[in-house]
């Protein structure tokens, strides 16, 4: 006898956000779920936990830059002068990309918590590289916010 667990149906609840520090934008849970292509196997508490951790990590990386912007009189990220794309500044897009990438890396690293079947082990083999890819994307997005160059250095 075998048992195959299926993913629960996606929830249909009103939009919810994860509140931020007032300078950086709040994160919409539904948008994060859709953008990160998460199904019902990632529960709302788990997603919220990953997003809060990602917001803390991105905020820590951007703390000095944020202090400079506040000293210039900007009270929110959206107030910092930057080109707009799709209704938001490039800085807002880069910040969300950093947060989403860090959250996705965290979720992927924990995927084996609940699926240790042969299929789950096989799936994690191709996921092994993904967390580092997402963390790299987050670092690049943070570099885009602060205006730093992206560098990749290999030791020969």
In terms of Cβ atoms closer than 10 Å to its own Cβ (0-12, 13-18, 19+), residue 27 is buried
Range in 12-16, 39-43, 87-91, 95-99 the model is least confident about: 12-16
| Residue 36 predicted with pLDDT over 70 | yes
Q: Whole-model pTM?
A: 0.79
| Residue 10 predicted with pLDDT over 90 | no
SS3 for 84?
Answer: strand
Range in 23-27, 34-38, 118-122 the model is least confident about: 118-122
pLDDT bin (cut points 50, 70, 90) of residue 126 is: very low
| Residue 7 predicted with pLDDT over 50 | yes
Please tell me the predicted confidence (pLDDT) of residue 52: 97
The contacts of residue 123 (CB under 8 Å, 6+ apart) are 111, 115
Segment 72-113, tens digit of pLDDT: 999 999 999 999 999 999 999 999 999 999 999 999 988 755
Distance, in Å, from the CA atom of 154 to the CA atom of 87, rounded to the nearest integer, reads 38
pLDDT bin (cut points 50, 70, 90) of residue 40 is: confident
| Residue 51 predicted with pLDDT over 80 | yes
């Amino acid at each position: 006898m075998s048992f195959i667990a299926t993913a629960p149906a996606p929830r249909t609840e009103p939009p919810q956000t994860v509140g931020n520090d007032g300078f950086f934008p709040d994160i919409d849970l539904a948008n994060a779920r859709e953008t990160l292509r998460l199904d019902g196997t990632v529960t709302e508490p788990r997603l919220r936990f990953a997003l809060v951790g990602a917001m803390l990590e991105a905020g820590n990386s951007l703390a000095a830059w944020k202090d400079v912007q506040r000293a210039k009189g900007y009270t929110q990220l959206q107030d910092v002068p930057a080109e707009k794309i799709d209704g938001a500044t490039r800085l807002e897009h880069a910040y969300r990309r950093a947060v989403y990438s860090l959250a996705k890396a965290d979720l992927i690293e924990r995927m084996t918590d609940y699926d240790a079947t042969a299929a789950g082990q096989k799936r994690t083999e191709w996921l092994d590289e993904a967390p580092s890819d997402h963390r790299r994307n987050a670092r690049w997005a943070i570099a885009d916010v602060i205006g730093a160059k992206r560098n990749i250095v290999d030791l020969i």
